[in-house]
Every structure is written in C-alpha cells, then in structure tokens.
Chains A and B, each alone.
Chain A
Amino acid sequence: MPYIPHSDQDRASMLATIGVRSIEELFKDVPEHARFPELDLPSALSEMEVRRELEMLAEANLTTSDCPCFLGAGAYSHFVPAVVDAILRRGEFYTAYTPYQPEVSQGTLQSIFEYQTMICNLTGMDVSNASHYDGATATAEAVITAINVHRLKRRKVVLSPFVHSEYRAVVRTYTQGMGLTLVGDEDGESRDSSVLADMLDKDTACLIVQYPDFLGRVEDLSGLAEAAHAVKALLIVVADPIALGLLKPPGEFGADVVVGEGQGMGAGLNFGGPYLGFFAIREKYVRKMAGRLVGQTVDAQGNRGFVLTLSTREQHIRREKATSNICTNQGLIALAAAVYMAALGKCGMRRVAELCYHRAHYAAQQIAKIDGFSVVDDKPFFKEFVVRCPRPVVEINDYLLDEWGIIGGYDLGQDYSRLKDHMLVCVTEMNPREEIDMLVEALEEVAS
C-alpha cells in the first residue's frame, strides 16, 4: 500500500499490544449498518500511471506559456524567478504546519516576520498580518475589522463599483449575517470619487476602493481618506503590490487598511489559486484585526527569536468572541511573496513596475491608432486599460485565439452594463514588444 510502512508482523504485534484481534475491531463504535461502505472510486494507479493521467489532463489545457496573454483582471502573469520555487520546494518549509512550537519553527516564523516587514514597507502601513486566503477574503476581513473598530455600532459600508466584482461578492457573502447595508456599487455604473465621498455619513464604518481600480486607473486617494476620516470611517484600499513598486503607497494617502492579492509576487497563475491575501493596517487597530501575527521576542538566554503573538484575538483562545475564525492561511504563498520581494528588492520591484507601465502605455497608444478601437483614458493607468471595441469582446477573443493564438483581454460587459463591448487589456513584463505588436496587428485585422 502506498505510504503505509506496516508489515504483517508489525500489525500482528501492534494489535496484540492493544489487546484486540483485528483492525476491524477498532471500529465497533461506528454504527454497523453504515460501517465499511464499498466506495465507488476508480482503481488505484501506480505513480507512473498517475503521472501519465495528469500529464494528459494538463496537456488538454492551453496555457499562458503556449500563447501571448493579455488577460489580467485580478490574476496576473508576472515572472517568477527560479529562486522562489527553489525555496518553496524545501520540505523543511512546505511540510511544516502553523508554528505552534516556536523553538522548532524559527524558519517559518522569521520568514513571516520578514514578510510582514516587507508588506508594511511596500504598502506604507504599520502592521501586516501573516496572510489571508486571497485578495477577496482579505477585503472581507478588512470590512469586518472596520465593523469591529466601531463596536458593531456602524452598519453602513460604502463600496466603489471599481473594486473587483468577485471581491465585492465575497464581502457580501461574508457579511450576510451581520445586518449591514452595502452601498455605492449597486448598479455597477460609473461613479467618481466625489460621489462615493458624498455617501459617507456618521453610520459609515468604512469606504473601500481599489488602487489601481478594476479598470486599471490610478488616482490620488488623499481626498477620499480625508472625507472618510471626517466621519471617522476607515479607508480600506485594495492594492496591486506590483503597482506599488512604482506608485505612491496607500499608506501615504492616509489609508487605514491596505489589502490585496499578492499572487503577482511569486505565486504564479495556477488557475486561480492558491493565491495570497495580504493585509496591513494602522497600529492603533492591531487588536481588532484578524489573522496570525508574528512578533519578535527573546529566548531564555536572551537571543532574538520569533513567536506567534496577540493570539488572544484568535479563535482557539477567544472562541465565539474571536475577531475571525481564520486559522490556516496561506503560509507558503506568503513565503513565496517574501522571497520574491527580497529577490527583486528595492531596485527590481521598481523596474518590473516600470516595465509594466511603459509597455502597457505603448500597447494603449498603438491600439488607439486602430480604426474602430479607442482607449478610454480619462485617468492615468498602470498595467491595465479599457479598450472600446467595434464588436463584442467574446467574438474578438475567439478570433484572436483561433487565428493568432493570442489570449485576449477581459470582457468588461460581464460586470458593467455600460461597458458592453469594452475589453480590459493587461500588459506586464511578460509581454515583450513583439507580442504587443502582434496583438495590434491582429486587432487591425479584426477592424478591417
């Protein structure tokens, strides 16, 4: 049997020590009528056979390395240096669990402490936790934090329509039992910041915006921060960490919580998961936040060491009074992000961000020249931009794939009725000029 080391002799001697005659006898507490069901599963495979089966399944997919990809919308094709996976593959990291015994978990704990430090420095915030499941659930937990900061007395949440639609959906799922009113994104229509600011009042717990927003646009958030703070609401910013290599961090605008999807930093695409929710907050709210936290301390000899701390907020201590039910999070993906941030560092993060920025702007300029296509450029953008198309986006994408082997952009009509026939195009450091030129040529063909 795979992965079971017991010989017949082992079994016999173990059963004798226990004082039973058979393994079956160990299960007498299980109701007899339901005991030992015949499971209808396909027969077992050897490692060689299972490899062959999964290779066949994998080959049945068309991947982003088979063809140029201009799809983003919350999951991004960014380069992952080999050093990231080399570290992730160390069994000492990936076969450990939550560091409940700090003396034998310093590797995990210190790497999380370093991750927390780098996330704080990237976002311009005071405190980062050890991670959430993804950007969407980190956003939902940020909303719950804001509700807790106001001791459940404020029930209104203002949500920009240009926060990722799936994040907004997850916020609604998480808070469905809390009796909140979520406003701002009802019809998914365009609202500029002043409209959102007007919705803030003394019952508002928080305002949530995305930076760059779902349409790729960037704006100064300090006005919104002031407006939120004027009514003592928290400003929650959902940020793209790659963009923060270049752009002003939300902390400088006065954000109270910065969350986001860390997938771009070393996690790869993986068909949507496992990804990384990062979560950073102002120090004054640290006791209201969810998630695991690593802190520095000393051992019995006075040496520096690291432990999980402030666990009195957490479910295993506080039970029904905990700030969240979260326990397992995304430890290994946080490690990937830490290695990524340390590998690229001060200079590399900036250069990757600039490369995304310049190539996206080059692509936008070229696409704007094509008859029938235009680029919506009411505000500065980072690596994604909106293209108004002469035909339905689905048709264009089918053409790009069938005739050119290109994975086209995201169909914004799915989320915004006003943006029917609008495509969200994403360009990263993974799209060299030749790929952009090829996309432009293909779109010219679509136009003609």
Chain B
Amino acid sequence: MTEPVVYEISRPGRCAATIPALDVPQADLPEGLVREELPLPEVSEADLVRHYTHLSQINYAVDVGFYPLGSCTMKYNPKINEELARLPGFARLHPYQSEGMVQGALFLMYYLQEFLKEIGGFTAVSLQPAAGAHGELTGVLMIRAYHLDRGNDQRNVVLVPDSAHGTNPATTTMSGLQVVEIPSDARGNVDLEALEAACNEHGDRLAGMMLTNPNTLGLFDEHVEEITSLVHKHGGLMYGDGANMNALLGIVRPGDLGFDVLHYNLHKTFSTPHGGGGPGSGPVGASDALADFLPGPIVAIDPERSEDDAEFYTFVNPPKAIGRVKAFYGQFGVLVKAYTYIRMLGADGLRRAAEHAVLNANYLKSRVEGTYKVPHDRICMHEFVCEGHFSDVPDVHALDISKRLIDYGFHPPTNYFPLIVHEALMPEPTETESKETLDRFADALLRIAEEAHTDPNLLHRAPHNAPVGRLDEVQAAKELILRWELE
C-alpha cells in the first residue's frame, strides 16, 4: 500500500486555494528580481485532502495504539489541550504586540513558570527552549557562563555517564566544553569510584556533570545525593536531563536533590503531543546559583504597572542571561497545552500519573522478565531495559523482535539504546495505558519469544502486515535520494 508523491498527482492549472482579487493598483515588479519558475505541485483540494488522509492512514500513533517508545513518554494527548491552544485569543497573537494587549497570554506563561518551579524545586524557570536538546544546550551554556562569571575560565570538563542520551555529549561539544565519560556500576548506577576519580583528576577543570535520573536504564540512581555533593565539592554544577521526569512528578523534586539546572520536556511529561517529531518544548529550571543566567525573556510581575486587583505581567531578562536561544518567547502554543494539563491534574493528579507510570513499567517488566533477560534486577521507574536476544537463537536480534511486534499491532519499544545493554529493548508504557493493553503487549512479547525458537524466519522477515515491508536503510544512505524529481 503506497501513496504517490504529491508531485505525481499534480496536473497543470489546479489549485487548492482561493485567493482574494487584487484591489489596489498594480505596482511595477522589481527588475531582475522576479523568479521565472516555481516548481510546486498543482492539486485540487479534494485530491490534497485524500493524499494526506492516505498518508495519515499509514502512520502509527498514540491515537492508533500502544506506543511504548522508551525515554519518549508517549502518553495519551488530551483533546482539550488541542482545543484550547487553538482559541483565537492565543492563536492569533502577534509576538510584538505591546504587553498591555496580551496580558492573558503573559498570565498563562507566568503561572506555567511558577508551576514548573514548584514541580522541579527550582528558583526560576525560562520557557524559551524549544525542545529537550535545546534545553540541554541552554543549561550547559548557563553552567559555562557561571564559571566564566566567577573567573574560572579553565572549568571546561563535563562528566557524562555512559548510559546518557546522545544529546548530552553532543550538547557539551556544541557548548565548547569537553566530555569525560563515566561508567555505570553493576546495579546500573553511576560508578561512584570512577566518578570520584574523575573529579579528582579534573579538579579545578570540572565544569559539572549531566545526569539523567531516573537514568536510561529506567533506574533511580541509588546514590544520587552522593553524586550531586561530590560534584559540588569539586566546584562543579549538576545538570539534570529531565527526559525521564514523568517518573518524578510529586515523587521527588530534582532541585531538592542538588540539581542546579534541569530541562523539562513538555511533550513527554506534560502530555503535549509529539507531532511526528516536534514541536516539543524544553523549559529550563535553575537553582539560586544559576537563576541569573537563564535566557530571557521571562515573564515577571511589574509592580509599577500593577494595581490592587490586577497584576501587570511583563517580560524581563535575567541580569547575566546567556542570551536568546530562539526568537520570540518559546513554543507558546505548546505552553498552553502543558498549562491545561497541569491545571486539570493538580498536585494529586501529577503524583498519580507518576505512580501509575511506574506501576505500569514494573508490571510489564514482571510479566516478561522470565523470558527476556533484564540485566539489572531492581524495581524500575517509568521504563525498563531488557535484552532482545536469546542465547540459544543467536541470529534473532532486537530489531527482529521489534519488527515482529508491528505485526501484533504495536509500536516497538526503543531499541539498541542505551548502548551499554546488549541488544537493548526499552519499553516505557506510561500511566495512560490499561492493564489489558499491557497484558496484550506482554502476551505478544512472550509469543514472539516462542516464535524466535520455532520459526525465526517469521521474525527476520517481519513486519508482514505493515504498509511496507522491511526498508533498506543501507541503500537509502548509499544512494541518496532526498527529494522527488521527475524521472
């Protein structure tokens, strides 16, 4: 079942849009600056709608079924969020309208900052960053700026555990700092001895550490406070990667554990949709030490323009801000959705979300761990990692199991990550899934394990009933075709 490329349904003269007639005199077009060709498709509205409807029908999504993609928190995206972000009073605001015209929008941003401060245990929050990796860049640049501000130009080493998301080391390099990798111990924690050795070795060159907690094995580091104090003792600051914050809502506040800066993923933890790969939103929370370095603009109350019954909200820039990280004020439409979610759940609802996310992950783990090896036998948080591999059928791989899951109607878990687990499969069920769904998924995994032994070719050739068969990624990279061209 394949759909033609939009250019293949194009016919000269068609157009799916109507455009107002010219109601002013024609001006002369600028000489030598007008284009001759505009090779865009020409389609009717009906054909266009059918084209994209067909494309949507060959896409898996949370609205279609269970999507246990580890570290991505594919929870259900409430429909009310979508409605409210589209209210004309939010959707039709120009970012440069004067503050007096947009007090409702500023109120929402102010209180979202306040909510996120409270949830994470931080002094201040900037809503500017557009995604998780963007929040990481923001946080690491803040740590760098903090050391420079104190005259410590030499502090350029960032410690990153070997279980970290690839964005952590990539961000560090992008910030002009140097990555030093720290191994994990047998229980899946940061290896404390190795950490201490690295702190001693790099001493006054230490800028800080990036830590995801729970980490990418789905485990809460049993020594988290020892880690944060060790890094602080050596003059470094702690960056928290909030990708896995869904396990911590109302359970513990990273700020209370010694993290100095952390990004939230509104598109994971706070139910805003992932959009097929964005828009996300990655606000950053900061402790006292780093609050002055947050990128502006941030919303504050202006006492001079406030009246007794009405606060006046205004944009401010923190005094030592690292500078803008994007144009305007962050992914405002996404902020509306996260605000809606937090208002609907309240403190209790957020804690229940985290609790059930963790309950679901542990339940799923318990159901499959006799069949799939779980390398770290501990209570997990919101996700866990098992090996997609059986020693008695060595040619069946995590990829085969993943593709076979598609035949059972599921999106596969994250695979081959974290890199420190052999043939890793990382399911994250989230709290919005019912016990029946988890049971169906566990049953499928157990059945696939049987198939791996009885009929491994079934797995190697999977998926069998997806819109396309297994795709040749090697050929795609070798013979680059990155745009449609008339043959």
Residues of the B chain whose Cβ atoms lie less than 8 Å from the Cβ of A53: 343
For residue A413, CB closer than 8 A to chain B, the reply is no
Give chain B's interface residue range (CB within 8 Å of chain A).
35 or more
Query: Considering the chains assembled together, what is the distance between the CA atoms of A203 and B15 in angstroms?
Result: 48
Query: Considering the chains assembled together, what is the distance between the CA atoms of A366 and B109 in angstroms?
Result: 39
Residues of the A chain whose Cβ atoms lie less than 8 Å from the Cβ of B388: none
Partner of B362, one of A18, A169, A219: A18
Is there an interface contact between B406 and A101, defined as CB atoms closer than 8 Å? Answer: yes
Type the 1/0 row for A349-363, where 1 means its CB is closer than 8 Å to any CB of B: 111101101110110
- Interface segment, A192-200, A223-231, A367-375, A428-436? A428-436
Is there an interface contact between B133 and A97, defined as CB atoms closer than 8 Å? Answer: no
Residues of the B chain whose Cβ atoms lie less than 8 Å from the Cβ of A128: 482-483
Residues of the A chain whose Cβ atoms lie less than 8 Å from the Cβ of B274: 94-98, 328, 331
Residues of the A chain whose Cβ atoms lie less than 8 Å from the Cβ of B7: 114, 117
- Interface segment, B197-205, B284-292, B344-352? B344-352
Q: Which residue of A lies closest to B352 (CB)?
A: A1
Query: How many chain A residues touch B (Cβ–Cβ < 8 Å)?
Result: 204
* Minimum distance in angstroms from B459 CB to a CB of chain A: 13
Partner of A55, one of B55, B87, B295, B467: B87
| 9 A-B pairs closest in CB distance | A177-B176, A58-B89, A272-B328, A91-B63, A44-B346, A107-B59, A60-B104, A332-B275, A331-B277
Q: Which residue of A lies closest to B101 (CB)?
A: A62
* Minimum distance in angstroms from B141 CB to a CB of chain A: 6
Partner of B94, one of A10, A23, A75: A75
**12 examples of A-B residue contacts, CB within 8 angstroms:** A14-B359, A17-B367, A43-B346, A54-B90, A59-B104, A60-B107, A94-B77, A173-B322, A177-B177, A294-B482, A332-B273, A380-B30
Type the 1/0 row for B338-368, where 1 means its CB is closer than 8 Å to any CB of A: 0110111111111111011011101101110
- Interface segment, B300-308, B389-397, B450-458, B473-481? B473-481
Given A37-B252, A304-B2, A324-B170: A113 touches B64 (CB 8 Å cut-off)? no
Is there an interface contact between A3 and B78, defined as CB atoms closer than 8 Å? Answer: yes
* Minimum distance in angstroms from A134 CB to a CB of chain B: 5
Q: Which residue of B lies closest to A335 (CB)?
A: B276
* Minimum distance in angstroms from A27 CB to a CB of chain B: 6
* Minimum distance in angstroms from A254 CB to a CB of chain B: 15
Query: Considering the chains assembled together, what is the distance between the CA atoms of A248 and B31 in angstroms?
Result: 11
Is there an interface contact between B35 and A249, defined as CB atoms closer than 8 Å? Answer: yes
Query: Considering the chains assembled together, what is the distance between the CA atoms of A47 and B476 in angstroms?
Result: 46
Given A44-B348, A54-B336, A104-B406: A34 touches B253 (CB 8 Å cut-off)? yes
Residues of the B chain whose Cβ atoms lie less than 8 Å from the Cβ of A312: 477
* Minimum distance in angstroms from A22 CB to a CB of chain B: 10
Partner of A133, one of B40, B82, B134, B170: B134
For residue A130, CB closer than 8 A to chain B, the reply is yes
Type the 1/0 row for B226-254, where 1 means its CB is closer than 8 Å to any CB of A: 00000000000000000000000011110
Partner of A136, one of B327, B345, B350, B411: B327
Is there an interface contact between A114 and B484, defined as CB atoms closer than 8 Å? Answer: yes
Is there an interface contact between A327 and B133, defined as CB atoms closer than 8 Å? Answer: yes
Is there an interface contact between A31 and B224, defined as CB atoms closer than 8 Å? Answer: yes
Given A23-B358, A178-B176: A3 touches B271 (CB 8 Å cut-off)? yes
For residue B23, CB closer than 8 A to chain A, the reply is yes
Residues of the A chain whose Cβ atoms lie less than 8 Å from the Cβ of B84: 50-51, 54-55, 58
Is there an interface contact between B98 and A397, defined as CB atoms closer than 8 Å? Answer: yes
Is there an interface contact between A380 and B91, defined as CB atoms closer than 8 Å? Answer: no
* Minimum distance in angstroms from A39 CB to a CB of chain B: 4
Is there an interface contact between A320 and B277, defined as CB atoms closer than 8 Å? Answer: no
Partner of B35, one of A30, A244, A268: A244
Residues of the B chain whose Cβ atoms lie less than 8 Å from the Cβ of A63: 88-89, 92-93
B window 6-44: CB within 8 A of A = 6-7, 10, 13-17, 19-20, 22-27, 29-30, 32-35, 38-43
Residues of the B chain whose Cβ atoms lie less than 8 Å from the Cβ of A173: 141, 295, 322-325
For residue A28, CB closer than 8 A to chain B, the reply is yes
Is there an interface contact between B327 and A39, defined as CB atoms closer than 8 Å? Answer: no
For residue A448, CB closer than 8 A to chain B, the reply is no
For residue B222, CB closer than 8 A to chain A, the reply is yes
For residue B432, CB closer than 8 A to chain A, the reply is yes
Partner of A295, one of B169, B330, B412, B476: B476
* Minimum distance in angstroms from A335 CB to a CB of chain B: 7
Is there an interface contact between B133 and A325, defined as CB atoms closer than 8 Å? Answer: yes
Given A91-B62, A274-B334, A301-B469: A176 touches B435 (CB 8 Å cut-off)? no
B window 52-103: CB within 8 A of A = 52-53, 55-64, 67, 69, 72, 74-78, 80, 82-84, 86-98, 101-103
Given A6-B356, A128-B483, A339-B48: A98 touches B24 (CB 8 Å cut-off)? no
For residue B131, CB closer than 8 A to chain A, the reply is yes
Partner of B92, one of A118, A269, A335, A345: A269
Query: Considering the chains assembled together, what is the distance between the CA atoms of A129 and B287 in angstroms?
Result: 36
